[in-house]
Chains A and B, each alone.
Chain A
Amino acid sequence: MQFFFEVLIGGLLSGVMYSLVALGFVLIYKASGVFNFAQSAMVFFAALTYVGLLEVGLSPWAALPATLAVMIVLALLIERVVLRPLVNQPQITLFMATIGLTFFIEGLAQMMWGANVRGLDLGVQDEPIQWLTDNAGINVSKFDLLAAGVAAVLVTALALFFNRTRIGRALRAVADDHQAALAVGIPLKQIWAIVWSVAGAVALVAGLLWGARNGVQYALTFVALKALPVLILGGFDSVPGAIVGGLIIGASEKLAEVYLGPYVGGGIEGWFPYVLALAFLLVRPEGLFGEKIIRRI
């Protein structure tokens, strides 16, 4: 039973890491209806830029705002060069544009900083908390707990931002209908620049945590594939959905790997989340917290 809880908690905490990536997707989808495949490339780019700036000799506290500035510049460029000419195009065109963007950002990141694997130390070790091991006999990593804390803060902040501020409301209007939003006087360009900047900041956070855990390397771009089932499970346009989806996916994935994996030859982590999400979708086609799709003729 203790082992079960350990796997469960480990899964939940790693699920939070998926949520961090999924959050970036949700932000952009909610505010522009764009399914931004480049989010994972942005995570990679942010982590690589941060590590690169550290190597150049900046202190960690100087590198953080510097990377943030780079991400904002990137967001502004994306808005100007990619999104603005594609206003009102079908969603699939925008989706393909973000895949093109993925290639571009991956190439750019590696050209600027090189492709070798780098370590990243955030000052918190990936080791079990002694107190919990002694008292409950369960190993919980300090680092995972930090990641969960960061994710909680981020989600609360974003949820407040979306529901309570003027800009947040404007974002939701834009997501509903580009042209209608323009018609009532919402500045689409600014809104998109803001939301992509925020997504860049989320990518930076996700990049730092993932980079510290797995090393800053090209494989970071594959975390998106972990975030996608989280997205469809939680709903593309729901911030809480990203978190709940992440928890469900993380926990069930680890449990399935431990308890189901040995019977079928292992390695099921790659597809199990997708099948699970698919099963959920058959019951609720718009995800757990997604906005109910009402269709009229």
Chain B
Amino acid sequence: MFYREAGQFKTSYDADLAIFPIRQDLIGVALIVAVAFIAVPLLATPYVITGILIPFLILSLAALGLNILTGYAGQLSLGTAAFMAVGAFASYNFILRIPGMPILAAFVAGGIVAALVGVVFGLPSLRIRGFYLAVATLAAQFFILWLLTKVGWISNYSSSGVITAQQIVILGYAFTTPEAKYLLILSIVFIMALAAKNLARSNVGRSWMAVRDMDVAAEVIGIRLMPAKLLAFAVSSFYCGVAGALFAFAYLGTVEPEAFSLDLSFRILFMVIIGGVGTVLGSFLGSAFVVLLPVLLSITVRYLDSNLGLRIPQSMISNLELMLFGGFIIFFLIVEPHGLARLWQIAKEKLRLWPFPH
């Protein structure tokens, strides 16, 4: 009843090509963005912002980056966290070594460095496919982290590679409060998500999808594999690099290379798979799922523990959480292998007909 596109006629090609061709979608997205920009900073507590919303947004951005590579271009990668680390450490060095470097420019430069590194580690994808490529990208994960720990220059000769990210100052305004940081991150994520959404439906995005579905066939119809695959690696790593820089500057503050471990790579891959491979929306849904699930689990377990008087030992609680996390992932994969974004699509189909299903 509410979600029905009847009566919305497209009278020009531009209208037909609009990013949200259905009016309800446009209104819905505008509403969510308005809430995120205006209501959330006014209403949310600092704990919710720093503990949940900021990591959610940053990891969404990283998941978006991985989704471009894995979901759109079909190249499985397990080195996401390493590309984030490159972005973080490169941004740190740009600000440290170039006096007066604007911080946003440093983020972009960090992203570009990550993109270049991504292209280098994307080169094997021209020969290797599938899980062989996935394991090969682990080389990036381990090699980059090793390099960051071993080369003292990168971390300005601090012990064991720990860096303290500089304060975020833009045009003389210091972003210190959680709300300010949140708004900055939200703006960056919003712009980059919009860019990704548009990129995906451009000829570049379509050539990626052709490569994903069958690269031999894509080559036959005239898509040049090398530029397509390497561009996917570059764009994906750029997103991851910016996400890494934000992760370091706006979330962690003090960063060691170990913060970007293989575990983080896996978590981001989870976000992509659970959210929905090859959808922008899925990156956000997946990120919300992976960020929120441990929080909800620990709240629930603690609540049960204290109310039922079970007195479960602490170590058992953490193991229980681990089991439930694994169990939920399997459960969601079984229930909807195409991810949460697909569930949303099904819900929309149902909404079109509701309340008269025939």
Contacts and interface: CB of A to CB of B under 8 A. Distances in A.
A275 B127 contact: no
Interface residues of B, dominant DSSP: helix
> Interface residues of A: mostly helix, strand, loop or mixed?
helix
Nearest to B323: A107
A89 to B, nearest CB: 5
A210 interface: no
Contact of A100 (B76, B136, B315, B327): B327
A32 interface: no
B325 A282 contact: no
A270 B131 contact: no
Nearest to B123: A282
Given A89-B337, A232-B132, A270-B146, A97 B139 contact: no
B322 interface: yes
A296 B217 CA distance: 9
Interface in B40-63: none
A99 B128 contact: no
Contacts of B315: 110, 114-115
Q: How large is the interface on B (under 10, 10 to 19, 20 to 34, 35 or more residues)?
A: 35 or more
B330 A281 contact: no
B139 A264 contact: no
Contacts of A264: 150
Contacts of B217: 297
A101 B270 CA distance: 13
B124 A297 contact: no
B310 interface: no
Interface residues of A, number: 52
Interface in B307-338: 315-316, 319-330, 333-334, 337
A236 B131 CA distance: 9
Given A231-B135, A285-B132, A111 B320 contact: yes
B132 A287 contact: yes
B1 interface: no
A146 interface: no
Nearest to A222: B262
Given A229-B135, A275-B143, A100 B330 contact: yes
B329 A99 contact: yes
A85 interface: yes
B139 A278 contact: yes
Contacts of A265: 150
Given A111-B320, A281-B132, A297 B214 contact: yes
A245 to B, nearest CB: 12
A276 to B, nearest CB: 9
Contact of B329 (A91, A100, A110, A231): A100
A1 B174 CA distance: 62
Contacts of B321: 107
Contacts of B255: none
A185 interface: no
B220 A297 contact: yes
Contact of B127 (A81, A106, A232, A282): A282
A40 to B, nearest CB: 12
B252 to A, nearest CB: 23
A103 B325 contact: yes
B267 to A, nearest CB: 10
Contacts of B270: 96, 99
Pairs A-B, 7 closest by C-beta atoms:
A103-B326, A100-B329, A104-B326, A107-B322, A107-B323, A274-B139, A271-B142
